[in-house]
Amino acid sequence: MTQFAATMCWVAGLVIWFIIRFPHQRRARKHAIVDSRNRGGQQTLVAISVVGLGLVPAFWALTGMGIPFGANLPFSPIVAYAGIVAAIAYLWFFYRSHKDLGHNWSATLEIRAKHTLVTGGVYHYVRHPMYVSFWLMAIAQALLLQNWFVGLAGIVGVGILYFFRVKKEEKLMLDTFGGVYRDYASKTARLIPFIY
């Protein structure tokens, strides 16, 4: 394993991520939005996460530069292999959460026509498996690209998205589904089954 091979694994993960997301974006456009919360603010949060999980590492990968100078870490194949495991895990969570959500998925805080509360599949174990995939994606980025700045950019990008959005998302679910969502939330962890 070399840094170039690890970087190509990171690129492959992004390509697969887009392949998973694309049909869901297309399908979501076909369903009318009946409730939307702070769309502009939510799009800003998504953009921030894209900077940390996409633009910063892409710039690093394309230029080979240590951003900032000297930020590259000594390459470790074992760390890179751990990054591949994290990448496989994030892609599985990402795929599974989209599959389980079906037509209920949206990129921002929206309720669509015929929206249902999904509590099966991976949602039986955690309320926010898509965020699990994003946290694992940031970890994979840090382990595969082995640059402290690039690794930190991914974690900060996901952290800003998660911490500024998850409570609003849960409020939308509570406003829409009431006691049913409250019961579900009381029995199901946010991110880590049986823990948090």
- Note the pLDDT tens digit of each residue in 12-29: 999 999 999 988 877 767
For residue 65, how far is the Cα from the chain centroid?
Answer: 26
CA distance linking residue 132 with residue 89, whole number of Å:
9
* 22 within some domain: yes
**Tens digits of per-residue pLDDT, 130-177?**
999 999 999 999 999 999 999 999 999 999 999 999 999 999 999 999
Collapsed DSSP state (helix, strand, coil) of residue 149: helix
Q: Could you tell me the CA-to-CA distances from 30 to 63, 112, 114, 126 in Å, in that order?
A: 39, 10, 12, 27
CATH of the domain at 81: 1.20.120.1630
Res 145: pLDDT: 94
Domain of residue 61: give its range.
Answer: 3-187
Res 77: pLDDT: 97
Helices 56-63 and 148-177, packing angle to 10 deg: 150
* 160 within some domain: yes
* 193 within some domain: no
Q: How many CB atoms lie within 10 A of CB 74?
A: 7
Collapsed DSSP state (helix, strand, coil) of residue 192: coil
Res 66: pLDDT: 63
For 90, what's the count of Cα atoms within 13 Å in the CB-facing half-sphere?
Answer: 26
Helices 148-177 and 179-187, packing angle to 10 deg: 140
Block residue for tokens 């990448």: 87
CA distance linking residue 43 with residue 39, whole number of Å:
6
CA distance linking residue 63 with residue 88, whole number of Å:
25
Block residue for tokens 């456009």: 29
* 153 within some domain: yes
* 84 within some domain: yes
Res 67: pLDDT: 67
Average pLDDT, the chain: 90
Helices (H), the chain: 3-28, 39-50, 56-63, 77-101, 129-145, 148-177, 179-187
Q: Is the pLDDT of residue 105 over 70?
A: yes
* 195 within some domain: no
The answer to whether the beta carbons of residues 110 and 29 sit under 8 Å apart is no
Collapsed DSSP state (helix, strand, coil) of residue 11: helix
* 167 within some domain: yes
CA distance linking residue 163 with residue 68, whole number of Å:
26
* 29 within some domain: yes
Task: Please give the tally of structural domains in the chain.
Answer: 1
